[in-house]
Structure 1
Amino acid sequence: MPKYTVIVVEDDLTILARFSALIAAQEDLALLAIASTKQEGINALLLHKPDILLTDIGLPDGSGIDIIKAINREKLDCEAMVISGFQDEHIVFRALEAGAKSYILKHDDEVIITDAIHSMMKGGAPMSPIIARLMLQKFQSHSQNNALPEALTDRQVSILKLISQGFSSREISEKLDITYYTVTTHIKNIYTKLQVNSRTEALHEALKLGLIQL
């Protein structure tokens, strides 16, 4: 029996057929629905409540990022992977900040894509090599322009590790048996110490410093 259910949102019918066949070939994946627009994607997401969302960014009526945001807004237990042709760093960061756990390029080999799906469902955050290098260059440049950040406490490192695994602030508070307010305060202090403004930037700064591993 399939272990994970999937919906795919892609407006290029040739690529959509490729992804659909790719999912169908995996014994542990089941394709529930396909969509070619943002609104169709959101409707499919709410109707089927899949384990996995595979979405393009550029859609005829908007952005796949809005579909990813719907996962958090509706509090769905779904992991989002972007499969796109866009390599612009601003789009990549917007997708990750919206909640995407993975960013893969459309032209990547099928093995890379399927391995990325399985890695994501095991708690990883796989990215195409080009995207990973782009982000590394971005944060190396950021590092050269900033002083060494203040050291994080053990509790703050623990929270960062849970964030890297995709847990929300509410879930972290339950796992660590501390209040939601305490978690959000720690996160704000982490941002200040690492000189960042978002979870995505905090994770990559922590990766660079060796505080966490994905």
Structure 2
Amino acid sequence: MGRWISFAMTTEEPPFAAPFRSTPSKGPFPQEIYKGVESLAERIVVVDDHELVQIGLHTLLTDHGLDVVGYAGTGSEGLALIQSLQPDLALIDVRLPDMSGIQLCQSVREANTHIRLAILTALMDKYVVHACLQTGIQGYLLKNMPGDELFRAIRNILDGKSVLDPAVTEYALRWIESRKDSESGKDALDLRDVEILRLIAQGRTNQDIGRHLHLSENTVKVIVNEIYRCLGVRSRVEAVMEANRRGLL
């Protein structure tokens, strides 16, 4: 005699049921899941080359009703994805294989003033924080934040607020206060300094850099010396090494 096999039907959605419309090949989730399904939730792109971070953010954000529409593991992939999808928010790591998150934020901001940008990183460096803020980001968040705090920060950014991790805020206030007492008047690198560092890393001379940025050779020399002072180095090689260590390049 045959035996009946009982089973229960469920209406629960399978895991990772968010509508992915454009996920790069390096992302942790298949692109075809629920293809064509539209969502009214805010749309987020994650640019980070660590798959575990992508998975963790997916779980955190979709569990709270947000729509993670794409992932990228490099800056160039991230730029193309952001330009294509036009998300409400892009979460970007500072350290990426092909460019810095600073450069990516700058490129996105030049073309899209309405997309919210937030740095999500493990880096806590005053030069990186300052350079990122100059690109017009809406948030600088650290990866060691508890999940509930991270979600609240992201929610606030989506609601139009600017959010800094408490550690960054405390540090920034101390840094601003120290600048007031500084005789030199400049203790941080600006975006032009970072661009000059990139050109130095390419092996450009002061004369080449001047032509590229429409500056005199003497002006470039003064700026390079100021960069040395800010980074605490004495040569171009040391400057590039220190900038790489800090995540500026």
Match of 2:154 in 1: 117
Structure 1 range deviating more: 16-25 or 97-106 = 16-25
Runs of 4+ in 1 over 3 A off after TM superposition: none
Query: Would you say 1:54 and 2:91 are equivalent positions?
Result: yes
Q: Tell me the SS of whatever aligns to 1:119.
A: helix
Match of 2:245 in 1: none
Match of 1:128 in 2: 165
Partners of 2:70 and 2:113 in 1: CA distance: 16
Query: Which one of 86, 98, 113 corresponds to residue 135 of structure 2?
Result: 98
Deviation at 1:145, TM superposition (A): 4.2
- Cα 1:76–1:48 change in 2 (3 A) is farther
Q: Tell me the SS of whatever aligns to 1:59.
A: coil
What's the Cα RMSD here? 1.5
Match of 1:24 in 2: 62
Give the percent of matched residue pairs that are identical in Structure 1 and Structure 2: 22
| Superimposed CA distance per residue, residues 91-139 of structure 1 (whole angstroms, 9 cap, x where no aligned partner) | 0111111121110001111111111111112232111111111101101
Partners of 2:158 and 2:51 in 1: CA distance: 26
Match of 2:43 in 1: 5
Partners of 2:158 and 2:52 in 1: CA distance: 26
The one-letter code sitting in structure 2 at the alignment partner of 1:74 is A
Q: From the CA coordinates, give the structure whose radius of gyration is larger.
A: 2
**Gapped runs of 5+ residues in structure 1?**
147-214
Partners of 2:53 and 2:84 in 1: CA distance: 23
Partners of 1:66 and 1:19 in 2: CA distance: 22
TM-score (norm 2): 0.55
**Gapped runs of 5+ residues in structure 2?**
1-38, 184-249
TM-score (norm 1): 0.64
Deviation at 1:66, TM superposition (A): 2.1
